[in-house]
Chains A and B, each alone.
Chain A
């Protein structure tokens, strides 16, 4: 859970930062997308960086999903009779753990849609792959507002997932003392807020016509 989660967190931060190229304009954004594909050429084959990332992500998602299923199954078996009076969260995760499982599934569903939309372009009006800028502008066009709403909902799920997940991973791997644990909880909250804001600003800017 922790190692695969950390790898995905690193990817997410890089992805979020990369998306902000959209505010520089069509050409810069498409240059960035092109650069991801031609990185290391001609010494390395076409799309090598992209495929290293993709394989790493597929392995991480697989490991993460598998550990999540094992933990959920064990939790289910560990409490065969539920409480009649619901337990109110008082722990340091402030209830964020309660949405890890459903939130994770929401994020997974989102990722599938996201790939069909902006990677494979199956559900995107712009089929021309080098035109990443055009695809983003087309998918979040004001009249396609349900797409934007879905993206934003998935981001809320991601925010809660990261707020618990980041410090939980540090706790699992590094086992900090009480002071550093509090600090990591603050880091997790900050990273979650920055990632959600950094991702959300792109569809919002397109939907409200600031980028077209």
Chain B
């Protein structure tokens, strides 16, 4: 199929970018979205032009490296699917596709479609961990966890930290990412010692990074390739109130 792509091109963090149009022909409907971009880049290189920079790693939907806001939707039109798992059969001949980077002040553009997501690392450093003695792995049933808690923690732990929630949020908030970590660790016995300092630290680091405030629009959860639900946000709010009351 033949497609018109309008892609955000920006040579580095300092320069001003703009949308640039490209026409690509002979795209196979079996190609993944990223393979389609690989083909475009080969053509650009053959023509002596600068290839389009974009993030990717596993290409199997588990690492969280790929991004791209495709026609206004983070990770494109297909629900519960990362860009690397999106396939060109979603499109038809003659379509125009707009491709932009995650847009957030806290995620500055590095080049073209690549943004710097280290603000998420700073949020994790501020509390998204547990302290446990190292050594050989303990037996899986050494610490009993109620099944319902284990399931809820597992769903939250499915977060791959891609940042689609921020890209989708009209407020540019990182609430869903942060809340997924707070819920995941806060539901497990191993996460209890730091439960209060975790939520206070992570929220402070989130606000410090310049993310917006959550107003429960639900766009994050709709865009999440791992379908993390809004209930983790309610959990974070409750944990935050308890921790703040205790700290006061």
Our verdict on whether A and B bind, yes or no, reads: yes
User: Taking beta carbons and an 8 Å cutoff, which residues of A are in contact with B?
Assistant: 1, 70-71, 74-75, 77-93, 97-98, 100, 164, 167-168, 171-178, 181
Complex: how many Å from CA A64 to CA B41? Answer: 50
Chain B interface residue count, Cβ-Cβ cutoff 8 angstroms: 40
Q: Which of A75, A97, A168, A176 contacts B172 (CB 8 A)?
A: A75
**A70 CB to nearest B CB, Å:** 7
**A108 CB to nearest B CB, Å:** 18
Q: Which of B72, B171, B223 contacts A75 (CB 8 A)?
A: B171
Complex contact A81–B103 (CB within 8 A):
yes
Complex contact A98–B170 (CB within 8 A):
yes
Q: Which of B172, B216, B222, B234 contacts A90 (CB 8 A)?
A: B222
Complex: how many Å from CA A91 to CA B231? Answer: 14
Instruction: Give the residues in chain B near A79, CB-CB below 8 Å.
Output: 103-105, 172, 212
Instruction: Give the residues in chain A near B237, CB-CB below 8 Å.
Output: 171-173, 175
Complex: chain B residue closest to A170, CB-CB: B234
**B74 CB to nearest A CB, Å:** 9
Complex contact B104–A78 (CB within 8 A):
yes
Complex contact A84–B213 (CB within 8 A):
no
Complex: how many Å from CA A171 to CA B218? Answer: 11
Complex contact B69–A85 (CB within 8 A):
yes
Decide yes or no whether B51 CB sits under 8 A from chain A: no
Complex: chain B residue closest to A176, CB-CB: B234
**A189 CB to nearest B CB, Å:** 14
**B141 CB to nearest A CB, Å:** 26
Decide yes or no whether B194 CB sits under 8 A from chain A: no
Of B173, B213, B218, B235, most buried by chain A (CB within 10 Å of CB) is B218
Complex: chain B residue closest to A168, CB-CB: B216
Complex contact B104–A171 (CB within 8 A):
no
Q: List 18 A-B contacts (CB under 8 A).
A: A74-B212, A77-B105, A77-B212, A78-B171, A78-B173, A78-B212, A80-B105, A84-B98, A87-B73, A87-B219, A90-B222, A92-B222, A92-B230, A93-B217, A97-B170, A167-B216, A175-B237, A178-B231
Complex: chain A residue closest to B166, CB-CB: A78
Give 10 closest A-B pairs by Cβ, nearest first.
A175-B234, A78-B172, A91-B218, A92-B218, A78-B212, A85-B98, A75-B171, A91-B219, A90-B222, A168-B216
Complex: chain A residue closest to B236, CB-CB: A175
**A100 CB to nearest B CB, Å:** 7
Decide yes or no whether B201 CB sits under 8 A from chain A: no
**B245 CB to nearest A CB, Å:** 14
Of B73, B173, B223, B230, most buried by chain A (CB within 10 Å of CB) is B230
Complex contact A71–B213 (CB within 8 A):
yes
Complex: how many Å from CA A70 to CA B211? Answer: 13
Using A79-B172, A87-B72 as known contacts, say yes or no to A71 and B212 having CB atoms under 8 A apart.
yes
- The 8 A CB mask of B102-124 against A (1 = contact, 0 = none) is 01111000000000000000000
Complex: how many Å from CA A163 to CA B98? Answer: 32
Complex contact B234–A174 (CB within 8 A):
yes
**B136 CB to nearest A CB, Å:** 36
Complex: how many Å from CA A175 to CA B230? Answer: 9
Complex contact B219–A71 (CB within 8 A):
no
Complex contact A97–B213 (CB within 8 A):
no
Decide yes or no whether B131 CB sits under 8 A from chain A: no
Complex contact A181–B170 (CB within 8 A):
no
**A84 CB to nearest B CB, Å:** 5
Instruction: Give the residues in chain A near B229, CB-CB below 8 Å.
Output: 178
Complex contact A78–B211 (CB within 8 A):
yes
**B79 CB to nearest A CB, Å:** 8
